[in-house]
Amino acid sequence: MKKYLLGIDIGTTGSKAVLIDTNGKVIAHSTNEYPIIVPKPGWSEQNPIDWWNATIKSIRDVIKTSGIEPGCISGIGLTGQMHGLVLMDKHNKVLRPCILWNDQRTIKECKIITQRIGKERLINIAGKPALTSFTVTKILWVKNNEPEIYNKITHILLPKDYVRYCLTGEYGMDVADASGTCLFDVGNRKWSEEIISILNIKKEWLPAVYESSEICGYVNRDTARATGLKLGIPVVCGAGDQSAQAIGTGIYAPGTVSVTIGTSGVVFAAIDKYQSDKTGRLHTYCHAIPEMWHLMGVMLSAGGSLRWFRDTFYKQELIKARRQKIDIYDLITYEADEVPPGSEDLIFLPYLSGERTPYPDPYARGVFFGLSLKHSRCHMARAVIEGITFGLRDCLELLKDFGIEFERVRVSGGGAKSSLWRRIMADVFNLDVVTVNATQGAAFGAAILTGVGAGIYRDVGSACERIIKETDVTKPNKNVKIYEQYYQQYRKLYPALKEKFKALSDIRADRR
């Protein structure tokens, strides 16, 4: 009987299921979307039940599309958006909407955590400073602002781990995703007794942690009925989306670096020993591989910036594209390709949701700099793509400063599909930009981890060598020098505007 592996990704915009065979061939995939709730400017939430309903539909879709017998699925792996706070009570009910990774409400709590633990000590233990993205800041916000909910907490989970609970009835979390809570002793791959104690968080609220390929539950009867899956299929712990994405592009050994352009933009480097960046600009996590870690730089609005641009400046075209079932981004990149490198002196700062790397600043905002009468929508489209790429280079430069050596990057995510964007990346980075045959992202990586847990592959490295192959290399060309000049101007803009961003926020705060 042929065996199959199922990866599920609880993303920011939708739940994706990917079914592969043991050679890595994608048999079927399906994504079902759900909304983001924005109760106030800078806030971002979702209802966990929306994830589960979308997951049920995605699983049913791939089973129907593939035509396979559910009993042929050897295991299920989970991945998903990181840092989101899911709170559950003693009756296993969700207490409030999940506060997402890109929510910016916890500035006050970041300061409290830093004062109590100390920035240097926190970075040493958790691999990162207290920033609005991380789960611990959201826990303290609920304590300070919603005490009636805080007092009912029995379990704290991350998004994909809520879906695991729905699948299996079991609570658990992988070390890679737990690394992003800022409650984790990343070097020792366990919950930090010190941080938990100082912040007076009950340890019993936190689930048991596992390595990513460990089995931590089995499909239960309710799930089997709802999804069409076979009762008792093993579910491996999985990984946060960035570790799973890296596995899905073959980033499993030291010296390999990837760039992923999704809603956020992520630069990822695998390392074989725990190291923390004392400046707090790069963040260290457990990798989805035992005894491996990774350094990560994150832009909060990478593909998210281009999506905003699409929704704002291509409204009519978007309606038409959806009706005709064509990709609106093909039109945007076609128009951008009509504009010369540097967008005729137009520079975009992609800080629409604040920023994390290299500037951990929730007040930062997007800017078009150099806008003039000669600039059109086409210029702005190219400037957005170039600005995002400049931000990704900021992250790569930090890796170099940290002593990580590399001559090429593997790229994935929506941005990697565009030949124009790959050319811009090669020229801005002055590096070879490489794509691979695996294009289903984090869900594909979760499926690989499932194969390791199910005993189909010996380990993650051998699985990646068997499955993942390079498909295209884009080399830097004559535009490297042009982009170097524009990048140096880009780097000067945030320092010049930093205090202005904060002053702008203060005006809004004074009017409340």
Residues involved in catalysis: 241
The DSSP annotation for 382-397 comes to: HHHHHHHHHHHHHHHH
> Do you know the residue count of the chain?
512
Per-residue tokens: 450: 């499932």
Cβ-based neighbours of 246, under 8 Å, separated by 6 or more: 252, 258, 268, 270, 287, 288, 294, 445
Q: Are 193 and 141 in contact (CB under 8 A)?
A: no
Contacts of 104 (CB under 8 A, 6+ apart): 42, 43, 44, 132, 353, 354, 362
Phi, psi of 343 (to 5 degrees): 50, 35
Type and span of the H or E element at 236: strand 234-236
Residue located via tokens 């009762």: 231
DSSP calls for 343-371: TTT-EEE--BTBB-SS--BTT---EEES-
Residue type, 173: M
Q: How far apart are CA 464 and CA 252, in angstroms?
A: 8
User: In degrees rounded to 5, what are phi and psi of residue 242?
Assistant: -75, -40
Output DSSP code: residue 85.
Answer: B
Tokens of 209: 């942690």
